[in-house]
């Protein structure tokens, strides 16, 4: 069973950053990202199974939509990934967002792409990379 937790304290932020993701996170970089919320899913053993941050205040504009961003994404397995993304979408909708965009760590000046299919060519400089088994 997964337990949902909002990340509020400095200790929780440190735990949030310990889960390997697309980019290395520290509590300082987490703070500088100015996310509106951070969420974790804990397993029965108390270990973090998935994490993400959400932005809904200072986000890109799109006509006829209110965008919410999902970033700092990481998940150990498909079940955790699905639960986390459902939670993120519900929370963004609760904040009035009509469209969820991700992965984007707050802006395109930070990590914002997820490799969904690996080609045979070697990656080029600054091309995103993530484990092949990521859900």
Q: 25-51: per-residue pLDDT in tens?
A: 889 988 888 999 999 999 999 889 999
**Which fold does the domain 3-101 belong to in CATH?**
Aminopeptidase (3.40.630)
User: DSSP 3-state assignment of 86?
Assistant: helix
Banded model confidence at residue 113, pLDDT cuts 50, 70, 90: low
Which comes out higher in pLDDT, residue 81 or 93? 93
**Cis amide prior to 93 (ω within 30 degrees):** no
- Map out the domains of the chain as residue ranges: 3-101
Average pLDDT, the chain: 83
Q: Residue 75 has what pLDDT?
A: 87
Give just the sign of the alpha carbon dihedral 135, 41, 89, 111: negative
């Amino acid at each position: 069973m997964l337990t949902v937790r909002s990340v509020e304290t400095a200790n929780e932020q440190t735990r949030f950053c310990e889960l390997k993701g697309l980019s290395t996170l520290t509590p300082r970089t987490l703070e500088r990202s100015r996310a509106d919320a951070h969420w974790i899913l804990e397993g029965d053993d108390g270990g973090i199974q998935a994490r993400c941050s959400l932005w809904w205040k200072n986000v890109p504009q799109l006509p006829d939509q209110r965008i919410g961003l999902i970033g700092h994404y990481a998940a150990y397995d498909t079940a955790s990934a699905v639960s986390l993304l459902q939670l993120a979408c519900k929370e963004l909708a609760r904040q009035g967002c009509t469209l969820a965009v991700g992965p984007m760590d707050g802006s395109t000046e930070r990590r914002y792409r997820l490799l969904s299919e690996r080609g045979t060519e070697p990656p080029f400089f600054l091309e995103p990379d993530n484990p092949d088994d990521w859900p």
